Amino acid sequence: MTRRVKRTVALTLAAASTGCSGEQSALAPTGVEALAIDPLFWTATWVGVLVTLMVVVLVSIALYGPVSWRARLGSDWIVIGGGIVLPIVVLTVLFLYALFIMQANAVRSQEAGDEAVTIVGKRWWWEMTYTTADGEKVLSANELRLPVGRPVRLRLESDNVIHSFWAPQLAGKLDMIPGRTNEVVVEATEAGISRGQCAEYCGGAHALMAFYVVAMPPAEYDAWLAREAEPAQRPKTGQQARGHDVFMQNGCGGCHQVRGTAAQGLIGPDLTHVGSRHSLAAGMLTNDPEAFARWITDNQHIKPENLMPPFRQLSEEELSSLAVYLDSLE
| Counts of helices then strands in the chain (DSSP H, E) | 9, 12
Please report how many Cα atoms fall inside a 13 Å half-sphere around the Cα of residue 220, on the Cβ side: 11
Binding mask 250-269 for other proteins (x = CB under 8 A): xxxxxx------x-xxxx--
Binding letters toward other proteins, positions 225-244, x by CB under 8 A: --------------------
Residue 203 interacting with other proteins (CB under 8 A): yes
188: helix, strand or coil: strand
Candidates 74, 217, 231, 260: give the one binding other proteins (CB under 8 A): 74
Residue span binding other proteins (CB under 8 A) among the ranges 62-70, 140-148, 224-232, 319-327: 62-70
Q: What is the C-alpha to C-alpha distance for residues 272 and 78, in angstroms, rounded to an integer?
A: 68
| Distance separating alpha carbons of residues 10 and 322, to the nearest angstrom | 45
Closer residue to other proteins (CB): 6 or 221 = 6
Among 2, 4, 219, 313, binds other proteins (CB under 8 A): 313
Question: Cβ closer to other proteins: 234 or 312?
Answer: 312
As measured in angstroms, the least distance from the Cβ of 219 to other proteins is: 28
Closer CB to other proteins, residue 116 or residue 226?
Answer: 116
Q: Which is nearer to other proteins, 251 or 260 (CB)?
A: 251
Residue choice 7, 9, 15, 149 for contact with other proteins (CB under 8 A): 15
Q: Does 310 bind other proteins (CB under 8 A)?
A: yes
Number of residues near other proteins (by CB under 8 A):
127
Under the binding rule (CB under 8 A), the answer on residue 93 touching other proteins is: no
Bridging pattern class, strands 116-121 and 152-158: parallel
- The span from the CA of 104 to the CA of 214, in Å, is 25
Short-list 142, 148, 124, CA closest to 287: 142
Measured CA to CA, the distance from residue 43 to residue 97 in angstroms comes to 10
Q: Which 108-127 positions form the footprint of other proteins (CB under 8 A)?
A: 108-110
189 binds other proteins (CB under 8 A): no
Among 56, 218, 227, 290, binds other proteins (CB under 8 A): 56
Residue 278: count other Cβ atoms within 10 Å of its Cβ. 16
**Minimum distance between the CB of residue 49 and other proteins, rounded to whole angstroms?**
8
Q: Which span (138-146, 230-238, 288-296, 306-314) binds other proteins, by CB under 8 A?
A: 306-314
Q: Does 92 bind other proteins (CB under 8 A)?
A: yes
What is the H or E stretch that residue 32 is in?
helix 32-64
**Which residues fall within 8 angstroms of residue 230, CB to CB, at 6 or more apart?**
259
Cβ atoms within 10 Å of 300's Cβ, excluding its own: 14
Least distance from other proteins to the Cβ atom of residue 172, Å: 2
CA atoms within 13 A on the CB side of 253: 14
| 274 touches 286 (CB < 8 A) | no
Given candidates 1, 3, 8, 20, which one binds other proteins under the rule CB under 8 A? Answer: 20
Q: Contact at 8 Å (CB) between 282 and 267?
A: no
Among 235, 43, 263, smallest CA distance to 139 is for 263
Q: How far is the CB of 246 from other proteins (least distance, A)?
A: 9
